[in-house]
Amino acid sequence: MGDTYLINGHMWVYVNSTTTGSVNGFKDCGNIQGPAGRSISSITGPVTDGLIDTYTIHYSDNTTSTFTVTNGANGANGTNGTNGDDGRGITGVVKSNTNGLIDTYTISYSDSTTSNFTVTNGNSITGATIDANGHLQITRAQG
């Protein structure tokens, strides 16, 4: 007997023979694939009893096994921390000025400070028509 090779699931052994079924001195000893293995189909759970969770493993051969996980008990609550500093809140927003299309708004805060922001408004549309060529004609207010 000599070298052995696995080719496409078949075991080929060098026997230095030219007998029927031999190829260049090698004899095909047949398929050597083993039986199908067992795989996990699913895991279910947990089923909880106190601090213990039980899980069930379901296998492809219709057998099962279980394992448990022991959880720790909840710890005691810690002490409350100190209160933080008061924040700054908005106490009001008013429109404080208008200049043409630009409105200015003033925001008042709970710490007695203010800030401003502006809003630029667009012109108002006063009319719309379709001209002889089928185009939309818009008339805007002057401002």
Residue with the bigger pLDDT between 88 and 1: it is 88
| Rounded Cα distance, 13 and 34, in Å | 18
DSSP symbol at 135? -
Q: 140 in a domain, yes or no?
A: no
Give yes or no: residues 6 and 30 share one domain.
yes
Give yes or no: residues 95 and 115 share one domain.
yes
> How many CA atoms does the CB half-sphere of 135 hold within 13 Å?
3
Give yes or no: residues 114 and 92 share one domain.
yes
Domain holding 55, by residue range, is 40-70
Q: 142 in a domain, yes or no?
A: no
Mean pLDDT of the chain: 86
34-44 tens-digit pLDDT: 677 888 999 99
Give yes or no: residues 48 and 23 share one domain.
no
**Domains contained in the chain, number:** 3
25-79 tens-digit pLDDT: 888 888 876 677 888 999 999 999 999 999 999 998 899 999 999 999 888 998 9
Q: Is residue 33 a contact partner of residue 27, using CB atoms and an 8 Å limit?
A: no
Q: 45 in a domain, yes or no?
A: yes
Residue 21's pLDDT band (boundaries 50, 70, 90)?
confident
Give yes or no: residues 54 and 25 share one domain.
no
Give yes or no: residues 9 and 30 share one domain.
yes
Q: 132 in a domain, yes or no?
A: no
Give yes or no: residues 17 and 44 share one domain.
no
- The alpha-carbon radius of gyration of the chain (Å, integer) is 43
